[in-house]
Structure 1
Amino acid sequence: MLEAAMQSRMFLSLLWVVLLSLGGACAVTVEAGLDPEITDASGDSGSATADGGDTSIEVACIEGNAASACNDNNPCTQDSCENEQCVNIPTTAVCDDGNECTENDACADGACVGSSLNCDDGEFCTVDKCEQGSGCIHVSKDGVECDDGDVCTTAGICQIGSCAGVTPISCHDLNDCTIDSCDPAKGCKNKLIVSQACRPNIVVDYPPRAAGVIWEDLSVPTLTVTGTVKSGAGPITEFTLNGAEVSVADDGSFSTEITPNVGGNTLEFDAEDSMKSARKRVQSFHWSPGFIDPKVEEVALPCAGQVADGVCITAYLDSGSLWGPAEQKCVALGGHLAVIHSEAQNDAVKAQRESVCGEKSAWIGMNDNVKEGNYVWADGSEIDFTYWAENEPNDWEGDEDVIGMYASGFWNDFNGDVVLKCHVCTSPTTEKQYTGHADPGMGIFIGPELLDDGDHGLPANDLATVFEVVLGEFDIAKLIPNPAAKDVSASGGTYDIYLKNVQTAKPTVALSLIDGGWTIMAKIKNVKAGIEALKTQGSFFLPGKITGTLKIKTITILADVLFAVTPDHELDAWVEKTDVSIDGVSVDINGILGPLIENMLGGSVGSMMEDMEKQIGDELGNALAPMLVDALGSLALGFDFELPSVNPEAAPVQMKVATDFSWVDFKTDGDLLALRSIAVPDDVVVTHESKGAPARSGCGLVEQKLAILKEAPMEIVMNDDTVNLIFYSAWRGGFLEFD
């Protein structure tokens, strides 16, 4: 062992000698078992002994060998050789002190120093420490109670180094209308389920939705509204009706009184429950002492005869009638003298006539009473079928204006004086029966100025001008009997006198108001007609025919026409009194014997004029009354129209408005015609049960009246009930419907 040591020392000594020989001033003493240390600059060398004493080998510190000559084996110093002397300067370098329980090791004052390692893991459920060889260790405090920071649990236990919740809290609120959960940060959450069952449900027992409620006791102006309001989400906390608070019983029922308006009323309910879930319900009802329910029904009518092409055809046999009275009989039965539009109908008329009247001719409904050659049917319909006998109509002797049917089924024009014992009527097999009118629903006022303003220039702006135009188109000759006189004595013989080619100036008409109707004064001036006197008896020497000219200066016709309404709500008119006067008559007979015959006819002409006056009065009465009924009857208007639906994608509602007469009141200050009115849809879409439209006029408390001001020449008024009927029927027709 000693020998080996000695050999090592000798080697080192030799190494330093070699180094020193290379130059340098520093010497390093290397002692056995020690690191070299810096010597002073004298160059004194140490010695090494073999006996275990101080033994050193000095190694010189020279430039270039500082790393080996001056290394003090301290990581916290910077080693260098300066002026042949080693320098070891402390540093602040990062180092490793070799201790696992320190961190952030750094040099300080020439030594490596570290701060204690922080082993805290922030977990309540661990014990934290550091051990050499292992570093930080965390020992679980299993079984120790802890707080897991979760509001959704009631307690925690340390398990495997962490706090685990053991008992979760219950968030169930016993409400089936909530979804229950727990938020670890916020706690229990109870989310409302959005559904019909989980919000307030308002049920109105009375009045029903869209109901018509009759105000039965007018001394009690209130109505009790009842129903229930409940919510699956919780108790009802707020409930109002039209903004007023309503009490709700424990079972959810409610009952409250309101003061409704006559007419339409709206109920607006608002409810809120304990979960702040809300619901609104809005419904309406009508309230009135009375209601009008407009309806139309197609009703089959009885037919005593036979049906052809949807028309009832019936023949009647009696003691005999002129054409006019026969037409009145048919009208009284709901029809007219036979109106024929097809061969099938003509065959049925013929069959009925044969069955009831045998071979007798029968009156049918065609005539040209108003204007010669202008044939019309009695009901005003278009002539689209005829079945004339050969060479008919021929207007024999200029006075055949009414039509009848021969036994053969062919037609012939007859004189208006002809009496036939058979007549055939046609009438509808069905009719629309309307019920639920507003009565009166409309009113028409005709003042004196509209009746006759004295100015009859065209265009017409009063009724007198209209009748003047109509009378101008009337064949005046039809008012004059033909023959105009019979068995007139002249020169010992007798003659029947006929008037031919009657010509007149344009007639004038004046109308004036009387109680119950009108007075009509018509003047026909400058009448000129050819005279044809045919001998019926007398000497052979007397001429068989005498011709000449009749001139009349003025025919004045005064007639009082009265008006009323029939039980069937149709306008009726009749001539109460007629006064006809003929003035300025002159006769001019042709030929040499003219003056003589004129003398002989003198007395007979006066008698002839009296007969003409009576005949004109009778004929005018027959023609004038129907003419006026047709004119004023048209004021009972009826029309179809369409009303656009509220839903832009729906088809318009097809509507019908119809009126007829309720009553008339003709006075000297003006005439009032009151109409019943009704409105119905073509198709009923809404089948909801309803009492109808409320009787609105007068707020439903007083009899309905027409508000006529009588300030204008003509006034047309419509009562509230008519407007209500239109909108009610529009609703029935789907006016407010959405898919």
Structure 2
Amino acid sequence: MPARLIHVAAFAVALCVAAACPGGAERVSTSSDAMNDQSPSFADGPTQATALELSITTPARGATLKGDPALTVKGSVIGPATAVTLNGAPVSVASDGSFNHAVQAVYGMNVLILEATDDKGEAQKLVQSFYYSTRWLQTDPQKPSTAMLDSAVRGWLGASVFESGGARIDIATVIERVLQSIDIASLIPSSQRINNVVGCDHADITISNVSFSPGQVALTTSASGLGVKVRFANLKANVKAKLSGKWFNPACLVKVSGKVKASAVEVTTTLDTKVSGGKLTATAKGTAAKVKDFDIDISGIWGFLTNWLVNRFEDDLARDLESMVKSEIDKQVGPALASGIDGLAFNEVLEIQPLVGNQATSVTLASTLGELKFEAAGARYALDGTAVAQPVVTHPSLGSLGYACGGAFGFTDKSKYPMQLAIGDDLLNQLLYSLHRGGLLKIKLDKEEAGKLLATIGNLPVTDLQGELDALLPPVINTCQSGGPLLQIGDLRAKLAFKLIGQPAEIIVHLAVEAPLTLRADGARIKLSISKPSLLEIESKDITAGGSKVFKAVQLLLEATLVPQLIKLLEDRSISVPIPELDLQQMDASLPAGTKVRLKVSKIVHRDGYTVAQGSVE
């Protein structure tokens, strides 16, 4: 029996189906007709079928394509057609009914609408979809590491994340707590004998009561790495010297005492960071120490003692302190920083409950640190990530949709928003692809579950509904459109059997859905918000008799129940990515649990294949 096709759009918004991404050729658009009758009458008799049979063989229904976007659509119109169009453009049909028509594929979902009018003036339509991109990404659930996406998530940590300058615990606080354990007094010998001093046998020098303020840390960021300055202020000590020998020399019987002090001892170094195998290492380089404002206060002091004290404090102490600070940084500070930064990576299993039934779809969301680069205003990092699931659905596919609309990503407004998180379209689409392959959109409706859906619609004389839904193509997020991000689902197939006013009917439906979307911060996660569909293309093939009554019933059933439920399924249970947090307790176990540096989201924008959450430090 010839296919009966209905072309419906719930909100009358145009879909461009024959153009390049922004900057390419001008789009050829087709507008959908608004459905005005929301409460149709079901008393109509069967509609006379047209004498036309329409088909599109290339591209195949549910195809995923790459390469040259200039495509030739092949198909046929069998029967006495007087006018044929594809996406509104006239089509020349050969004597055998075949046709070839050139179109320009766009990134993401492409909807082909073939329309024909027979010699009696009756119109018929065929609607089917395909996806196009120059990049497709493969996943292997057995080897998640092979499906890792470079820079799937990017982050920006402004200088204030490392040092706030206030009471908030930050990275500088953690480093300071480690370096405050350094004991300068341990580097200064309490006593030492110097032989052959000014005509005497020796001098015994004692240094006691060494005191200093705990080390204070200041951090700076630069292209060289993370700069660390440790300042030990108010160094003080008591000094005594006793000369011995040469009994005939009165000078050898002298005892002297006094004090030495310095305003501060400062040590500077740079943490050199490297990422390898998903792990960060941080080591000190260019370490230098300096004793500032050194002063000796000993009445009648002799030159030898002055020289010895200057050498002991300004040279030996500085050198020993350099070595100690570098050692502590390499042993404790570097690993602590690495632990905190490595902790930005997320690894979890998402258990997504289905629309009906109890069989959850499991998706592994994993990431590792891929990059950490410092610059004057802060540091940027990248996480390589993936989302994989065991395949249940095996529709032919080139993989998950890869972003292919140009533009090199970079963070902006760094001073205004000291913390930023950018989630790549590639990761979001891989997550959707894995949910699709994992069977989330393969839904079997028994009479009980279908009855619950029907109960949400009033005055629809449909009973004994059952069937199955299966998405031939995965949902995709498309941010290449100038009007904002879109959720697109091409060729969602529904096979339904039911009774309409007591009469049995069977129908196969293919839908193409497009809806505006936004991503929002929800606690510690970024989640998806989907608006009402701006485009809903429906193709229905009547398997049994029923005519317009069947079409109107299915139309209302899909628009009022199944499509909103599927969108709610994706919105509430599917798209959710954790916001990475810098767990300071991983850097210092003595800190209270939950001591973290978090992003407080103020604004979310979409740019160059990323959804960017911008905000302050929480």
TM-score computed with the length of structure 2 as normaliser: 0.48
Structure showing greater radius of gyration is 1
